[in-house]
Amino acid sequence: TAAPIIQNRPSAHLATGPQQEQRTFYEFRTYSIRPDQNSAFLKLTNEKIHLRTAHSQLIGYWTVEYGGLNKVFHIWQYDSYSQRAAVRAALAQDPSWISEYISKALPLLTAQDNEVLYLVPWSRLKSPPQQGGVFELVTFQMRPGGPAVWGGAFQAAMSAHDAPGYGKLLGAFHSEFGLLNRVHALWWFESADHRAECRHRAHTDARVVAAVRNSVAHLDSQRNQLMFPCPFSPMK
């Protein structure tokens, strides 16, 4: 008789990391604005954002200054997927939101994108040490394998920058929906020049250089964006 055919099954742990313990997740939204309507969109949002924040918690809302043009980036917090579904359903039935904001805002945009993320297990969302300053969103596209493979090296690289004061790490997030194996680090600096000074000092720190060298072995690409908080942003 013929030998039984043994099928190779994909390894169950290939793209998984530590089990997610927290239910709280964050939705990252990026909107691209028509270049000739950037001021109009920001003015409208500043006047009507209260219609949106009445439904769920806004963490921060920024304009992208470097690393992207005519873009805004915002973070929303949810306790569960059912809460988010309820929020979206309520917004769809909110006449003020529809007539006063979304119907006017959508024609000003060229694209919308979102991701769902969790804080990495060792990170907690922090507030900036003071109001003002600039924020940097650093996006790392890691190689497949998940935090179980690259989590330790990534944490070491972040801590090597954060602990000596080469910037203030406000949160590190890994993707659940959107491109997988993507990690975002949200940093705060006193100013763009302060950020440049911190980068220069970090490049001469042997501990940072060693930690980054170990981390980049798991890295496919990286993107940096410097952002300014909007007047209505809770985090600023």
* DSSP codes, 34-98: -GGGHHHHHHHHHHHHHHHHTTSEEEEEEEEEESSSSEEEEEEEES-HHHHHHHHHHHHT-HHII
User: Is residue 8 domain-resident?
Assistant: no
Answer yes or no: are the C-beta atoms of 220 and 141 closer than 8 Å: yes
Answer yes or no: are the C-beta atoms of 23 and 61 closer than 8 Å: no
pLDDT value, residue 145: 86
Give the residue numbers spanning the domain of 87: 25-117
pTM beyond cutoff 0.85: yes
User: Is residue 12 domain-resident?
Assistant: no
Q: Is 117 exposed, middle or buried (0-12, 13-18, 19+ CB in 10 A)?
A: buried
Domain boundary among 117, 152, 170: 117
Looking at the structure, do residues 135 and 185 belong to the same domain, yes or no?
A: yes
Answer yes or no: are the C-beta atoms of 56 and 83 closer than 8 Å: yes
The 10 Å Cβ neighbour count of residue 196 is 11
User: The domain spanning residue 50 has which CATH number?
Assistant: 3.30.70.100
Looking at the structure, do residues 62 and 78 belong to the same domain, yes or no?
A: yes
User: Is residue 93 domain-resident?
Assistant: yes
Looking at the structure, do residues 215 and 131 belong to the same domain, yes or no?
A: yes
Looking at the structure, do residues 113 and 136 belong to the same domain, yes or no?
A: no
pLDDT value, residue 5: 40
Number of domains in the chain: 2
CA–CA–CA angle 7, 9, 13 (5° rounding): 165
Taking only Cα atoms into account, the Rg of the chain, rounded to an integer number of angstroms, comes to 20
Looking at the structure, do residues 32 and 104 belong to the same domain, yes or no?
A: yes
Domain boundary among 72, 89, 117: 117
Domain boundary among 87, 117, 147: 117
| 183 membership: H or E segment, kind and range | strand 182-189
- Average pLDDT by stretches of 10, the chain with 236 residues: 40 41 91 98 98 98 98 98 98 98 98 97 96 97 89 94 95 96 97 96 94 93 97 97
pLDDT value, residue 146: 82
The 10 Å Cβ neighbour count of residue 131 is 9
Looking at the structure, do residues 159 and 137 belong to the same domain, yes or no?
A: yes
Looking at the structure, do residues 147 and 97 belong to the same domain, yes or no?
A: no
